A and B are shown apart, each in its own frame.
Chain A
Amino acid sequence: MTRDCADDLLQDTWLRIHRVRHTYRRGEPVLPWVYAIARRAKIDGYRRARRIASRETPMQQIELPAHAPRPGQLPDFETLIASLPESQREVITMLKVSGLTLEETARATSSTVGAVKQKAHRAYERLRGLLQTGENR
């Protein structure tokens, strides 16, 4: 995502928050409410971008050098979670980077606490496998 797209998404998110401000219920946690709206804005933004990109011809493809970890060094978090499926990556990012609780993550993703736990456990399994594979190289 480019900086311009991120700025558009931010504006879109705040606009949506303003439009649906009446749906916030007193006493309910604010952060999951905001996250849920922002998440939906992100999904809609990605779909829009995909539709536009499918009609565009890329001008130039620049290959970025891969940053492989040195032998014995742990791969960085960003590299590891990039290989997770989108739903698992989203949950791990919310729990570990943004510091949301399980319930807040469930609220923000419109799913249940059990589903969030399941995704997190699957993500951990996958991360274990990736760490093991990296060590065996």
Chain B
Amino acid sequence: MTCNHIEDALLANGKSRVWSAEHGAHLNGCKSCRRLAAVLAAASPDVEAPVQPGTLREIERVLTADLHPVRGIAPKRQFAVLLIAIFVFFAGLGVLRLGWRGLTVMTAFQASAMLGALSIGAILLAWSLANQMSPGSLHRLSPASLPIAVTITLAILAAALFRFEQEDQFWMRSWQCFRLGMPFSLLAAIPTWFALRRGAFLSPRTTGLGAGLFTGLAGALAIQIRCQNLEAAHILVSHLGMAVLASILGWILGLVIEQAGTGLRRS
């Protein structure tokens, strides 16, 4: 029995002061743990929260008994499926419009790894966004960290799958892919926005960051299938860079919404 076990028990016990025999033995011998447990046990309901825990539970019971949703929000799964459908539609639209010549130059491994990673990133973001639409949802992945983790993973994958080479007219070629793919990301943002408005995202900046990257990945997927340039820096800067820019734009939009003081959207 170590001090870590006592801390785990403090987390699990809530406001309860019941200790097992093993915990009790450690507390008898450890002054630091004894003092910590004593201070936390003395936590007064008057501190910051004048409402007693029992009263909170009573409020919860009364609210639950009388709660009738008004045009209730759809289940999370439905929203996630809707967002994924938006992603597939606009990525597919991009492929139809721009072609799929990129598939002829990528190896099967490169194509499946890169396109698979882009799709998985979009699915994870869709699920996270569906969660964020209802306050108090349980997040398995941090909504603030997920966009960053997805971006870093895709960047590492692109750097590992493709080679860095010297390229002529790097910035012009990058701009060409960028301007071809960005419209599909921006178009995907429109139905995504209308879908998300149905919910109540508590942190517009965080939601904007995730939604921006989500729509950006739709354009990135279309461009990756279209583009025959397999130079790693090109893919990082123009394909992934486009998704990152969309994410930043989403974050800025979230900041504007927050500043306007309309953090919670109504239906």
Contacts and interface: CB of A to CB of B under 8 A. Distances in A.
B15 interface: yes
Interface in A96-136: 96-103, 106-108, 110-113, 115, 117, 120-121, 124, 127-128, 131-132, 135
Given A107-B137, A115-B142, A24 B44 contact: no
Interface stretch (B48-56, B169-177, B215-223): B48-56
A27 B97 CA distance: 44
Contacts, number: 163
B264 A96 contact: no
The bracket for how many chain B residues form the interface is: 35 or more
Contact of A78 (B44, B57, B258): B44
B185 interface: no
Nearest to B32: A128
Contacts of B10: 120, 124
B202 A37 contact: yes
B34 to A, nearest CB: 10
8 contacts: A25-B73, A25-B76, A48-B261, A77-B42, A78-B44, A97-B48, A98-B53, A128-B35
B45 interface: yes
Interface string B121-158: 00000000000111111111111000000000000000
B134 A131 contact: no
A21 B70 CA distance: 7
Contacts of B39: 74-75, 77, 80, 127, 131
Interface of B: 7, 10-12, 14-15, 32, 35-36, 38-40, 42-45, 47-49, 51, 53, 56-57, 60, 63-64, 67, 69-73, 75-76, 132-143, 199-200, 202-203, 206, 258, 261, 263-267
A93 B49 contact: yes
Contact of A108 (B60, B136, B199): B136
Interface of B is mostly: loop
A97 B45 contact: yes
A57 B19 CA distance: 52
A120 B206 CA distance: 23
A25 B75 contact: yes
